[in-house]
Amino acid sequence: MTGPASALSAETLTVRYGKKIALDHLSLSVERGGVYALLGRNGSGKSTLVRVLLGQQAPAAGQASLLGKASWKHRSELMARVGVVPEEPDAPPAMTLRQLEAFVRPLYASWNGRAFADRLFRFGVPAEVPFGGLSKGQKGLALLSLALAPNPELLLLDDPTLGLDPVARRAFHEEVIRELADRGTTVFLTTHDLAGAESIADRVGILRDGKLLVDEPLEGLKARFRRIRYANEATDERTEFGTELDAFDAVQVKVRGWGNEAVVSDYDDGKFDAFRAQDGVVDAEAGSMSLEEIFLAVAGEKVPPPGEPK
């Protein structure tokens, strides 16, 4: 799956913690120049995958690669080309951002100090305040500024907006979009912020129990999922209920007081016209779904609240 156009790839990755399988023969490939959002409930394997991709953890089987090179074997070399923003902003609390910059700058030949200072100014993050004295939103934006200062080819974000207020989240997403527009940096992020992911991602993966259930462009995913509502009535010719959705791949079906509600994953207008014309199907309507609604239907359970362990 690794190729010259691939910024990131995983080939049949398996990771176990005792008897628990955290990643189950997972494979994916992220092309250069886009935003890939990986979604999943707590415990689905998202953070495990990030650790393997960054070469921090060796898989039991399979291989992870960044920018065409195996992560585990070439971690030191790759980290000079990859920017990382972890879920929990972490840096020595007594150091100011100016001191942090002076500490990490010698590690990167391509460090852009002017761009770093400009981002801090744009975000309203003070460079002379100790890191421990910043708000969580300021810390997150500061780490994004540090991650982007070396002009990375690839940016890995592990739930970076968790716990940030709406203003900080918006600034974070706008900077990611700006970076894409200016330099074409590839972005891979795990997130619980589904509305934010929907606003910036061009490709989406949904992970559950270590398996990748969805891996496709966001536009195509939203085109094939629909919520269908209709009344289900008996007629003289109709003797069997429950077969009217056979033409669709129904992910979820609920019986309401007024009729039925179904989520289907292979919608098209032709199928819907035939469905609507069936004997006993009354007042059928199809509505589009948000990424969050699709996630809930595929994952089968509610999105976990921010702050729970993954």
Class of domain 6-218: alpha beta
pLDDT at 272: 95
pLDDT at 229: 94
Q: What is the pLDDT along the chain (310 residues), one digit of tens a residue?
A: 444 568 999 999 999 999 899 999 999 999 998 899 999 988 899 999 999 999 999 999 999 999 999 999 999 899 999 999 988 888 999 999 999 999 999 999 999 999 999 999 999 999 999 999 999 899 999 999 999 999 999 999 999 888 888 888 888 888 888 887 678 889 999 998 899 899 999 999 999 999 999 999 999 999 999 999 998 886 666 655 567 888 888 888 888 878 889 999 999 999 999 999 988 899 999 999 999 999 999 986 544 444 444 4
**Nearest Cα to Cα of residue 308 among 90, 53, 47:** 47
Residue 280 token pair: 């006993």
pLDDT at 69: 94
Domain boundaries, the chain: 6-218, 226-288
CATH assignment, 226-288: 3.30.70.260
- What is the b/e burial string over 188-202, where b = at least 16 CB atoms within 10 angstroms of the residue's CB? bbbbbbbebbbebbe
The 3 state secondary structure assigned to the chain is CCCCCEEEEEEEEEEEECCEEEEEEEEEEEECCCEEEEEECCCCCHHHHHHHHCCCCCCCEEEEEECCEECCCCHHHHCCCEEEECCCCCCCCCCEHHHHHHHHHHHCCCCCHHHHHHHHHHHCCCCCCEHHHCCHHHHHHHHHHHHHCCCCCEEEEECCCCCCCHHHHHHHHHHHHHHHHHHCCEEEEECCCHHHHHHHCCEEEEEECCEEEEEEEHHHHHHHCEEEEEEECCCCCCCCCCCCCCCCCEEEEEECCCCEEEEECCCCHHHHHHHHCCCCEEEEEEECCCHHHHHHHHHCCCCCCCCCCC
Tell me the chain's radius of gyration from C-alpha atoms.
23
| Residue type, position 296, single letter | L
pTM above 0.85, yes or no: yes
